[in-house]
Structure 1
Amino acid sequence: MRRANRKKAVEGRSVIFKIKRCDGPGKPSRWESFKVPVEQGGNVISSLKWIAANPITTEGTKTTPVVWDSGCLEEVCGACTMVINGRVRQSCSCLIDEYAPLEGDAITLEPMSKFPVIRDLWVDRARLFHNLTRVKAWVPIDGTYNMGAGPKETPEHQQMRYALSECMSCGCCLDACPQFTKVEDEEKWDTSFIGAHAISQARLFNEHGTGKLLKGDRYEELAGAGGVSDCGNAQNCVKVCPKGIPLTESIGAVGRGTTVHAIKQFFQGKE
């Protein structure tokens, strides 16, 4: 339907942006609306830039420029993620022609709900990156000198891992997940649900020839509080992932791997 909207997009139209704003952490939120002229092919970021240059509401009140985060503008970095018309996604790839093709159509922008708001549409995603450190989402150094070619992979295995590697840590899966709740107390991060993104990255590095050296550590973390067993199987994560990463497959694979690891530890007397 959105692609069909492109064909009926009216040139020279203006669109109403309804934006949920907040002046800083702990401060009350408010709604402000802006009437924005739209160029063909324009996206939400280009509209936010227009508002920044012309911060006047539809009531004619001059206000402060709207604050948001962005980086690559190519749906690669994940920084510009926000809630658009009630659905979390990247704003750089959100085309106005698809969402608001007619004169006077409205688009609603809100910050992600699972992370603390820094200001307006900009949130603090520190917990997202912290959870990646919990599962050691990296390949460890296996030597300090040239040891020759690395481990080989079959094309099929390589293709599977490539799909997992496309994660850009945008946070869409977390914002849509009913088990991943907003936790501002950093001392509670390590016992709160870790999220689909970290579980999938654990699978990615467990499948790496050198990364699997830390497989046991990853399974130990994911078997504890806030680990893979806390997933409620809502499957919202896979529905909103902008890269189409098979997150539910990763959750299932890591769940099985964690169980096998626990059984091995038991029979080896390492429980």
Structure 2
Amino acid sequence: MAQAATRTIKVEIKRQSTPDGKATTEAFEIPYRPNMNITSLLGEIALNPTTVTGVETTPITYDSNCLEEICGSCAMLINGKAMMACSALVDKLEQPIRLAPLSKFPVVRDLAVDRSVLFENLKAVKAWVPIDGTYDLGPAPRQFPQVQEQRYPLSNCISCTICMEVCPQFNDATGFVGAATIAQARLFNMDPAGSVLKEDRLRALAGDGGIQECGFAQNCVQACPKGLPLTEAISDMGRDVFVQQVKDLFTR
């Protein structure tokens, strides 16, 4: 009796050895195991980095940390769609599985990209609570439950930059800060302590690359792996930015 063929997983990976290097594609075929995610698939390749043609190569470089959709580092293009590698299940993906780095960020190597633009944008809008030091400040200001319910979803942002990847307005021409930055500005503007910087944040979002660049395509809210109310936050901040601009107009 003929032995049944071993089931395998076919994967094609876009690779780039240096930031300025030429991009190539390598194909791999590894033994199938049920319930694998893309991160574990890349780990299997690392154990035996040999292409389907028998050529020995190097393990794939990619970012990964928590493996449970919290750190946001493993975002990549999977079959052309921006997804988290840790929560993308092989059993639900069409083969050959095509992996590529996010397209709107500089490539560091293979699937790893430089997403520091997000953190520069967060700094530009002062997305933090301005409290420093280890001294006792006493109890924090009280928050109404209704405000807590509004703030909590926004606090779940994992800085994966998927919202920026899928946004048609996020590009070099517009300099748009992206949905994640706007949502975090909204989060800290609703914080009793963080609200002392509210006007600074609104003025920053009124400038170049700010809220006016949003075309409201709503790709961000559809792609967000954590289900953040991004378009709602953008709409609310657009209103607040306009009100701040009117205030500034009459107080100069």
Does residue 40 in structure 1 map to residue 17 in structure 2? Answer: no
Residues 166-221 of structure 1: per-residue CA shift (max 9 Å, x gap): 001001000001111258xxxxxxx7111110000000000000100000110111
Structure 1 residue 146 displacement after superposition: 2.5
Q: CA RMSD in A?
A: 1.7
- Contact in 2 for aligned 1:115/1:182 (Cα 8 Å): no
Segments of 5+ residues of structure 1 without an aligned counterpart are: 1-11, 184-190
The alpha-carbon distance between structure 1 residues 65 and 215, as it changes in their structure 2 partners (threshold 3 A), is: same
The CA deviation string for residues 9-63 of structure 1, in whole angstroms up to 9 with x for no partner, is xxx6211011011111111111111001121111111110111111111111111
Letter in 2 for 1:124: D
Out of 180, 191, 194, which is 1:211 matched to? 194
Relative distance call for 1:41 and 1:182 in structure 2 (3 A) is: farther
Q: CA 1:256 to 1:22, structure 2 compared with 1: closer, same or farther past 3 Å?
A: same
Report Cα offsets for 1:246-266 as digits up to 9, x if no partner: 110111111100000111111
Do structure 1's residue 159 and structure 2's residue 153 form an aligned pair?
no
| Residues in 1 aligned to 2:218 and 2:99: alpha-carbon distance in whole angstroms | 24
What's the offset of the Cα at 1:142?
7.4
Compared CA separation, residues 28 and 157, structure 1 to 2 (3 A): same
**Residue 258, structure 1, aligned to residue 248, structure 2:** no
Of residues 92, 108, 114, the one that matches 1:118 is: 108
Q: Describe the superposition over 1:110-142 as per-residue Cα deviations: whole angstroms up to 9, x where unpaired.
A: 100110001000001111111110111100127
User: What is the aligned length?
Assistant: 248
Structure 2: gaps spanning 5 or more residues? 1-5
Q: TM-score of the superposition, structure 1-length normalised?
A: 0.88
Distance (whole Å) between structure 1 residues aligned to residue 55 and residue 132 of structure 2 = 60
What fraction of aligned residue pairs are identical, expressed as a percent? 50
CA offsets 1:57-77 (integer angstroms, 9 cap, x no match): 111111121111101111000
CA–CA distance in structure 2, aligned partners of residues 145 and 59 of structure 1: 63
